[in-house]
Amino acid sequence: MPIEFRILGPLEVSADGRVLQLGSHKQRAMLGLLLVHANETVARDRLIEELWAEAAPATVESALNVYLSRLRRLLESAGAGGVLGRQAHGYRLQVEPGQLDANRFEWLVGEGREALAAGKAALAAERLRQALALWRGPALADLQSERFAITAGARLEEARVSALEQRLEADLALGIDRELIGELETLVVEHPYRERVRAQLMLALYRSGRQAEALDAYQQARRALDELGIEPSAALQQLQRAVLRQDETLQPPEEPSEPMAAPRHRSVVSSTSRTPTLDEFVRDLTQAAVEGKLDPVIARADESEQTSEILCRRMHKHPLLLGERGVGRTAIVEEVARSIATGHVPKTLADKRLVAFDFVAIAAASESRREFVKCLQNVLKEITRRRDTILFIDQNVLKEITRRRDTILFIDEFQSAGATERPFDTASILTPVLARGALTTISTTTPGEYEKMLAQDPTLERHFEPVLVHEPTAEETIEILHGLSDRYERYHHVRISDEAIIAAVELADRYIDGFRPSKAIDLIDRASAHLSLREEANADQTGGRKRRQREPRVDAQHVAGLISREIGIPVS
């Protein structure tokens, strides 16, 4: 796989899926500056000025040569020799199309903007989601002490927020309203003077039957702009008048203006699908990643990379994630799907489709063993006919896999696949397909079940490559919860404190059976739901459902109170 440069987040360089160690801060800053000006000549004096400013030592020329030499050797070791070249008065880092995430972002945003202008809202939303998924944090986050990084970061952040506004515009055009309100309210707080976001919030509220709140949102916008000594724009004032008179043109069309776009990772549901059985029993995880429906995955980089490496093999490419329920096995599979959707995978995985398979649904739809076997074989046929699908079997869909060779099958809890009152021998159906190399799968199971079933069947076991998924530490679980907290905050309309996260991990370990991180995540979810419900009840008692001026805060006391209520003893 060609070398990849990433500046939409901390500076990162990878080759063949391996992240390179970039050396000292000064060397990283030099690479960051060259990437900000990729394919442009950066003058030698400019390099010195940006990297040393007024503190340049007498030996700065020699130091610059040393850093440039080390950077060349680093790039050469990654198979990118010659990309850093000397020009007449400076240096130039040659970046090919697609190698720099900022360039891919710009290209996807351009496509999304064009689609939106052409009335193709679904295609626009998908392209813009793909673009936004490339961001891993603030641009050049690890170099913000450098002047060039501050300037470039501000420019890129403006482009990101603009792309986010356009994505919201596309979602609104598709009739998605209520689901956007939490996200828009957060954006208004972060960017109080962006009138486009204010208008989008007003429209989403109005379409959700909350006219009074939409008008209140306008008044809040007016007060914010008044601080700058300006009036709301004519467009925002016109929207307010339309909300007042309940203008019918504010409602979205009953049907989207065009079908859901299907460029790179298509939705599996289609009236003309060539895989109807597969479509009935799977969930397309790559499509879910494109649409931003998967939660972020934290502290699982090694397991995700190991899984992807096994999938890239020519033979024995069936990773089997071994871990107890609740340690995050499925999250690793979703991270692989996200990597495929964003293009951060080797060529052998590019354009693959990762789908989750549910055996239970097939078993429920089958009245006899014969029907089950026939359905399972149909799934397998539909997958092995094509070469772009990886199947994650989620206890439901094995038959349609055989027809397509483009599917990665995710088998969740492999040992229970087909487990019903009638003993369906799914292994006898799966083994020949695996032996022919006609199928690529990801599976999960527990160590105990692995020892009990797969290890006792050498014919089946030899096709799988175990990937151990250990329970994360308490510190890693805290990091995971921090990464997920914004999702739960938007969903429950609350704020989750750091103390609540720490308490959830500690109290879950002390009082709840199961494994991290699942039990701690569940505890935060339940505490947030309980607080949100209580706040709504209080609002009803104090004069109706008034719009909250401030979101309630989940703290350690709420988490402890939830545990105390369930076990019947005081908890601190």
Cβ atoms of residues 133 and 341 within 8 Å: yes
Residue with tokens 């599976």: 443
Alpha carbon of 3 to those of 15, 105, 106, 518: distances in Å? 5, 17, 19, 35
Instruction: Kindly report the number of other CB atoms within 10 A of residue 371's CB atom.
Output: 13
pLDDT at position 191:
93
What is the pTM assigned to this prediction? Answer: 0.51
Distance CA 483, CA 464 (A): 31
Contact 381, 391 (CB under 8 A): no
Cα angle 400, 460, 328; round to 5 = 75
pLDDT score at 398? 33
Q: From 388, 412, 409, 387, select the one nearest 400 (Cα to Cα).
A: 409
pLDDT at residue 63, rounded to an integer = 87
- Whether 314 shows a pLDDT value over 90: the answer reads no
Proportion of the chain above pLDDT 90, given as a percent: 32
CB 536 within 8 A of CB 545: yes
Contacts by residues 42-51 (CB-CB < 8 Å, ≥ 24 positions apart): 42/90, 42/91, 42/92, 43/89, 43/90, 44/89, 44/90, 44/91, 46/90, 47/90, 47/91, 50/146, 50/147, 50/148, 51/26, 51/146
The pLDDT tens digits for 549-568 are 567 899 999 999 888 887 77
pLDDT > 70: percent of the chain: 76
The number of residues in the chain equals 572
Give the pLDDT of residue 396. Answer: 33
- Residues 253, 225 contacting (CB under 8 angstroms): no
Whole-number pLDDT of residue 255: 44
Contact 47, 30 (CB under 8 A): yes
Across 188-215, average pLDDT: 93
Q: What is the pLDDT of residue 3?
A: 85
- Residue 425: per-residue pLDDT: 47
CB 547 within 8 A of CB 213: yes
Contact at 8 Å (CB) between 263 and 286?
Answer: no
Bridge partners of residue 390, in order along the sequence: 354
Whole-number pLDDT of residue 454: 60
Complete domains list, the chain, with CATH? 1-166 (1.10.10.10), 175-261 (1.25.40.10), 276-468 (3.40.50.300), 474-567 (1.10.8.60)
pLDDT higher at 387 or 335? 335
**In three state form, how does the secondary structure of 294-328 look?**
CCCCCCCHHHHHHHHHHHCCCCCCCEEEECCCCCC
> How far apart, in whole angstroms, are the C-alpha atoms of residue 518 and residue 148?
41
DSSP reduced 3-state for 423: strand
Nearest to 279 by CA among 213, 339, 357: 357
C-alpha span between 241 and 208 (Å, rounded): 17
Average of per-residue pLDDT across 317-337: 87
pLDDT 10s digits, 245-295: 998 889 876 544 343 333 344 333 344 455 666 666 677 888 888 777 888
Tens digits of residue pLDDT in 225-257: 999 899 999 999 999 999 999 988 898 765 443
The closest of 137, 138, 222, 210 to 180, measured between CA atoms, is: 210
Q: What is the mean pLDDT of residues 527-536?
A: 87
Helical pair 556-567 and 498-511, crossing angle rounded to 10 deg: 20
- Classify residue 568 as left (phi > 0), alpha (psi -120 to 50) or beta: left
* Assigned token pair, 365: 């739809």
Residue 325 pLDDT exceeds 80? yes
Report CA-CA distances (Å) from 476 to 57, 107, 138, 426, 520: 42, 35, 22, 37, 12
Distance CA 405, CA 388 (A): 6
Q: What is the mean pLDDT of the chain?
A: 80
Average pLDDT over residues 194-217: 93
Q: Cβ-count burial of 290 within 10 angstroms (0-12 exposed, 13-18 middle, 19+ buried)? A: buried
Please check the confidence at residue 405 and state whether its pLDDT lies above 50: no
pLDDT at residue number 110? 92
For residue 62, what are the CA distances in angstroms to 34, 98, 195, 271, 372? 19, 33, 51, 66, 73
Question: If you average pLDDT over residues 395-424, what whole number do you get?
Answer: 42
Tokens, residue 306? 């190991």
Asked if 569 contacts 532 with a C-beta cutoff of 8 angstroms, the reply is no
Q: Which of 448-457, 477-486, 508-517 has the lowest mean pLDDT?
A: 448-457
Instruction: Give the model confidence (pLDDT) of 60-76 as tens digits.
Output: 888 888 888 888 888 88
Q: pLDDT digit string (tens) for 120-178? A: 888 899 899 999 999 999 999 999 889 999 999 999 999 999 999 999 999 999 888 88
